[in-house]
Amino acid sequence: MKNLAGIVLLGLIMSSCSLFQKPSMTQEQIDALVAQNQALKSQAAGCTELEDQLALSRMQMDEAMLKLAACEESAYSKVHIIVGAFKNSTYADEYSAEMKNNGYVGKIMAGPYQFNLVTAGSYESIQAALNELGNIRANVIEDAWIYIE
């Protein structure tokens, strides 16, 4: 009798134990959590790519700052504000004439990769070019940029 009572008591204890109960989540909830986990993993991978791009951008900025510093120290460098770059010299000539009509230098110079660069002005220092760059971007073309010889 004692054994029977012990077995019944043991059966009651084990049936109420959470280890033997069915999971409280449905298959749909489990699938949703798995999908959410995958989305978070993808998002984390995207963040890693952005961190790599940021590191590369910082390295490029550091290199540019070193180049700018070297150009500032060099008396032979010339800084130009470029308002157009053309492979076709006829287009460069036409845009140069337009720039001259608007009161800018409009000089055409040879650039990298056989481009004809049209300048709005040339300066002895980067600071002088930067001071004028905002004005040219506001009044001539938003994509104006600085070119250092």
Secondary structure string (H, E, C) spanning 5-65? HHHHHHHHHHHHCHHHCCCCCCHHHHHHHHHHHHHHHHHHHHHHHHHHHHHHHHHHHHHHH
16 in any annotated domain: no
Final residue before a domain boundary, out of 35, 57, 74: 74
User: Do residues 87 and 105 share a domain?
Assistant: yes
**Helix (H) or strand (E) segment spanning residue 123:** strand 116-123
What are 42-86's pLDDT values in tens digits? 887 777 788 888 888 888 888 877 777 666 555 555 889 999 999
User: Do 89 and 144 lie in a common domain?
Assistant: yes
Return the CATH number at 115.
3.30.70.1070
What does the pLDDT average to over 3-10? 62
Q: How many domains does the chain have?
A: 2
Phi/psi of residue 79, nearest 5 degrees = -110, 130
On the question of pLDDT at 5 being above 70, the answer is no
The rounded percent of the chain whose pLDDT value lies above 70 is: 78
Domain that holds residue 63: 45-74
Indicate if 97 and 132 belong to the same structural domain.
yes
